[in-house]
Structure 1
Amino acid sequence: MSKIRWFFWCVAGLGLCALAMGFAGVLHPLGDSLAVARTWIAAGGALWLGLGLALGLGARRIVAVCYIALALAMLPVGIAHLRGEAAGTRSIYQKNMLFVEKDLRPLAADIQAALPDVVSLQEVTEANAQIRHLLRGYPTWEHCAFNRVGGTAIASRFEAEAGSVICAPGLTAVRLLPPDRAPFWAVSIHLHWPWPYGQGAHVERLVPLLEGLEGEVVMGGDFNMVPWSASVRRLARAAGVSRLGRVRPSFELPVGWVPIDHTFSSEKARGSTELRPRLGSDHMGVLARY
């Protein structure tokens, strides 16, 4: 085998291994970290194999099998982006506020214009928590501290059940009492960064809390992870919820946009999602109607 052919198949093999490991988040958090890059790995792999095929560096059948593997790897991503949507009368506005001090009036105005039932917020600090005073008609405000970049919070147009607030690192949950339907839980989540940081252990701590919520649950958060990852799917199962609407890439990395801000409601609910402007944050907002 020539050196060029050997180099081509070494690179192709490493890429396919990385792609396969991106499905192994249930075994090790490294799998979820690679799942974030699944789109780019698959696209780069397709280009690499196409180049090798054009230059005659590999057997056509082997290259065809690799292409099929890449296509199968992209199926969950494609389904997540293309799933059908259905508008509804209930709503949640998800937003990582960014912990730096800023003018809060544009964000407050955007929330008021959307008029969501629930607002899930992250990176809420003493300074930007003052947005609660700009939100008219939102009597419920519950804030739980997290880390140096701020905590999580829930704001709602509905009153909260007394004594129902649950605080944990990266989680705020409160049971709301709407006048026209059964009480439900509203949850705001902010996960640690993925492996090699502490996201895996963080998920382990939150799962029992979410499993303990009885009844309908509405959840929004900055999960620092893509929706097809093991971490996000595990939290959704624990809360008994499904993701609302299509995937919306909400955060920009140097290599492109990634969907890490998500909204969920109890199983069988369908919804539509739309992005809202950054408004002083490094995250787009996500408004879901379901």
Structure 2
Amino acid sequence: MPETAGPVSHVSDTAHWVAAHRAIETARPNALFRDPLAERLAGETGKAIVANEKWYALIRWSLVTRTKVIDDLIAETVSEGCDLVINLAAGLDARPYRLDLPADLRWIEADLPDLIAEKNRLLEGETPRCDLTRVAVDLADPAAREEFLDKSLDGVKKALVLTEGLVYYLSEDEVSGLAAALARPEINWWIMDVINRSIVDRNNRANKNLLKNSPWRFGPADPLRFFAGKGWTSDEVVGLFRAAARFRRLPAVLWSCAFVPVGPRKPAGTSWLPWCAAVRLTHAADPTA
């Protein structure tokens, strides 16, 4: 990935950055998705970050491909009877406004108070396609997170938790704590994007200006094995290099990565080829089962 520079003073700024790339994709005649609110949500912060990127196409492919693949995973999960979507660290995601969702589907967005307030202001007057609620909560506070989950999951039978673009900003201990907190009978699925150590290290080196205040941290040699050890088994794995090649969004310089196997298979503790994927996990009561 290329060197970038921009006004990223806190990880929350990356929400504007991602929204800016969604707006760029939306403007394409052959867009993978349409997000008419993305430009408004990106604001000047998102535009400034993109304007300072060098060779931004080498970044954009992963963000737009991830968005499209997770859109499809959500649609599949809703069709399987999901009765609640909880989007943790929702940022400036606008899926409740643009996806074809059942009107009675409950959708809860959780994020820090300042970001929730900004989003409420920017989207005032817009009508979501489902039953949408936003909750201001510090998800890094285990007690606050537990209280939020207790209230949100009351009466729920088949919930989906979404953590797009979140876990690689956390430490391994924090991800382990999140995996344990989400291991509840009401939660059937967990959708996220994951990367391995090779991409974490390369990205932090290449984007040292952009990410100096919010470096990537979590990236096991084998992310699927890590989550399996916490009781979470992948039932859907979509390699983003291959998906981007299929969507004709993968830059030529990265084309060889489209042939990386779906799922790292080297022993834990070793770095391997660059690997990233969107995954849907389900939980087993006994991690050794």
Normalising to structure 2: TM-score of the pair?
A: 0.36
Normalising to structure 1: TM-score of the pair?
A: 0.36
Structure with bigger gyration radius? 1
